[in-house]
Amino acid sequence: MKFMHMSDCHIGGWQRNEELRDILSESFDEAINLARKEKVDFILISGDIFDKAIPDITAIHNAVKKMKEARDAGIRIYVIEGSHDFSVTDKTMTKILDSAGIFTRVARQKRIKNDEEDEDDKLEMILTEDCETGAKITGISGEWRAGEEERYRLIDEKHIQEKLEKNSGFKIFMFHSGISEFKSKKLASASGFMPLSLLPKGFDYYAGGHIHIKSEYEYEVPGYNQIYYPGPLFPMNSQDLEEHPVGGVYLVTVEDDRPKVEWKEINICGIVSIEVDASKKNPSSVEKEIRDKIEKKDVKDKIVVLRVEGTLESGHRTDIDFRGLELFIKEKHARTIVKREVKLKSSVYEKYHTDSNTQAEIEREHTEEFSKLKLLNINNEEKTRLINEILRYLSTERTEGETKQNYKERIISEVDTVLGFDKKVEEIENEAELS
């Protein structure tokens, strides 16, 4: 048996850069081509196949065309939703494509009624069997701001273990969450992590998604065999373009229920990084230094990441002719240019500015920036948690049949609860009654 494991395709992403959006699509095409070349039995996509629940129609068309090629070649595709293509209303493109037979959603559970009044209902995991190999696949989709954690807490662990023991074949669990015990310092401010103990034990392969850094954990914790995160097919923000420029997939060959895992790069075009320190310089000298560095680089058909940081000695950041620099770089036949000037400052006061290209990157930068402000008598970590919780509630959609007014009142109530305003109001009302 042989299968491919990919995640975080984010098809339709990079909305502000058409070239990068095309490269993202080409990366997905290349992964499907590789699956056909390697003659895999099936493909696993561990969440965020699309960048949002209902993506751009062109992105959908290209992706569906490629997946149909795989299906016509006899390759089955199994998916779960991620935090980007999930929707609380369940109105997603993944659901439509599942109904059309392009792929199969495997994050299926059945709610088991608990007769005990003080006990919550349980969730029974449903195994999907691959028709050719007999592999058993199940999982839990990711949700916005780690909302899926509650589902894990409701899993009937005893039932899933009994089911695994009764069913033969290779068993795969797909998930779209980070694991707190494996969280690195670099991901300290990232959301979407949960304790390892919530992940059900006993599967032969854990196909992870959500973490945008390739990560492997083999037999490190009893009960959990091999946990793999392939990372994205293509970097999804300017920082990752520099630090993690190459995406990829895992090819997994199974013999005697033992998986052999091999990493395969997906690299559509090269990346050239240009870094300039603007400290103690004026805009003109910064422009000249950038041009000089570009002249010494081979940027043809490559992505150029231009990073400018530091505090200008004089002038304003807007005095740097970035538009002219972009035209200069394109004349060198670069495929596209990505600017990183988040840490570029003027010696005079200016409003907060960002050149981030994705919603997630913008949110992360704003969260880090605002968590430093002395607005509340709490530490930065707690501020970051509060901000992430508020963003989670503000991003929820209206439920079926919910009026705009009810939706507005629900969101305000939920944010009030996060900030503790509801308790404060109750205290004031109680004091008023006593007086």
Position 110 scores a pLDDT of: 85
pTM, rounded to two decimals? 0.78
Question: Using CA atoms, how far apart are residues 233 and 221, in angstroms rounded to an integer?
Answer: 27
Position 340 scores a pLDDT of: 86
Q: Quick check: 240 and 272 in contact, CB under 8 A?
A: no
Fold of 2-266: Purple Acid Phosphatase; chain A, domain 2 (3.60.21)
Position 54 scores a pLDDT of: 87
Question: Using CA atoms, how far apart are residues 215 and 7, in angstroms rounded to an integer?
Answer: 12
Q: Where are the beta strands (DSSP E) in 230-277?
A: 247-255, 258-266, 271-277
Position 364 scores a pLDDT of: 64
Question: Using CA atoms, how far apart are residues 82 and 43, in angstroms rounded to an integer?
Answer: 16
Question: Using CA atoms, how far apart are residues 286 and 401, in angstroms rounded to an integer?
Answer: 56
Position 375 scores a pLDDT of: 54
Residues of the chain with CATH 3.60.21.10: 2-266
Q: Is 333 a catalytic residue?
A: no
C-alpha torsion 59→61→62→65, nearest 10: 150
Question: Using CA atoms, how far apart are residues 427 and 169, in angstroms rounded to an integer?
Answer: 58
pLDDT in tens, 345-398: 887 645 555 555 566 666 666 666 655 555 556 676 776 777 777 777 677 666
Helix axes 283-295, 322-331, angle to 10 degrees: 10
From the list 5, 10, 61, 84, the catalytic residue is: 84
Give the amino acid at 144.
W
**Per-residue pLDDT tens listing for the chain (435 residues):** 999 999 999 999 998 899 999 999 999 999 999 999 999 999 999 999 999 888 888 889 999 999 999 999 999 999 999 999 888 777 889 999 999 999 999 999 888 877 665 566 788 899 999 999 999 999 999 987 677 888 898 888 888 888 888 888 899 999 999 999 888 887 777 778 999 999 999 999 999 999 999 999 977 778 888 999 999 999 998 889 998 999 999 999 999 889 999 999 999 999 999 999 999 999 999 999 999 999 999 999 999 999 999 999 998 888 999 999 999 999 999 999 998 877 888 876 455 555 555 666 666 666 666 555 555 566 767 767 777 777 776 776 666 556 677 677 777 777 777 666 555 545 545 555 554
Q: Residue 196: which residues within 8 A CB-CB, separation 6 or more? A: 179, 180, 181, 182, 221, 224
